[in-house]
Copies of this chain bind each other. A is one copy, B any other.
């Protein structure tokens, strides 16, 4: 892939905003007016070693043709699964092929000496993006839920992102829906992620296809090729098994989000990421079950809605905002 030009601009400075995902990683160049002037996607999973992956990221940034002079780059902000804000590491990320602790910030600083680099959890970056550029502007208490390869979350309390004592706060995807439930990539069982991630939803669809005898267009797709996109499209065309799949997914997510509401009492919960693109087949039952499952004092006062920003933009702008806040 070659970097694509998107917009010609006269900028006083730039920030690189990077969204590392289990499937793909998007590297964006953001100008001082918060325009993403250039971007490139790479396939995360094809890189056997984190070092070569991070080298590709550095090369992409320095080769962006909108960045005429590296001295105009004020820093690199990164959102990553299991990213640690304090340590600049990715640690034990179930959905990445590099295991253990990856010192991402240190590796990049070796390649680009003196460059400010800040890393946080991918969902935290999305939350910051929503707070600075999206619907959460001015909101003090909200939660960002990302539904994709994994299920992440960024929790904002009193206008500040919650990092916790060790920088790993906001792992709602790894709260337990059912003790001893589905096996999770994290090594435990029954995590929310195993039910509401892209692969979790496909698993539910397959369970329903096996359990029920209803006609379904999903039966025409080989089981190992079935994706959430197929299930979402089928649901939006009225396929009952697909609708039931999203209904069950929504119910499980709602029960766990009612738990999250009981922790920090947010005014809004935003749903973000590939799975959220399914639209009303997910959001309508989600709102219904969420309301049903809330403790009395929280009823009719917590909004649950899709992120107001374009998916890639939110993550890139949020990652870049880590540097912008530090400038």
A residues touching B (Cβ–Cβ < 8 Å)?
Answer: 82, 84, 91-92, 140-141, 155, 157-158, 160, 162-172, 174-176, 178-179, 186-188, 255, 258-260, 262-267, 293, 295-298, 301
Contact = CB atoms under 8 A, between A and B. Distances in A.
Given A176-B259, A179-B255, A262-B175, A267 B297 contact: no
A186 to B, nearest CB: 6
A64 B187 CA distance: 58
Contact of A168 (B157, B169, B297): B297
A267 B255 CA distance: 26
A164 B266 contact: yes
15 contacts: A82-B297, A141-B165, A141-B169, A157-B169, A158-B162, A165-B267, A166-B298, A169-B262, A175-B259, A186-B295, A186-B296, A188-B293, A188-B295, A259-B259, A264-B264
Contact of A163 (B166, B176, B265): B265
A141 B168 contact: no
Q: Is the interface of A mostly helix, strand, loop or mixed?
A: loop
B259 A164 contact: no
Contacts of A160: 158
A166 B299 CA distance: 11
A164 to B, nearest CB: 2
A296 B263 contact: no
A260 B263 contact: yes
A258 B176 contact: yes
A249 to B, nearest CB: 14
B296 A264 contact: no
A265 B260 CA distance: 13
- Which 9 A-B pairs give the minimum distances between C-beta atoms? A164-B265, A169-B265, A165-B267, A175-B259, A171-B262, A141-B165, A92-B296, A174-B295, A168-B297
Q: Which residue among A141, A157, A160 has the maximum number of chain B CB atoms within 10 Å of its CB?
A: A157
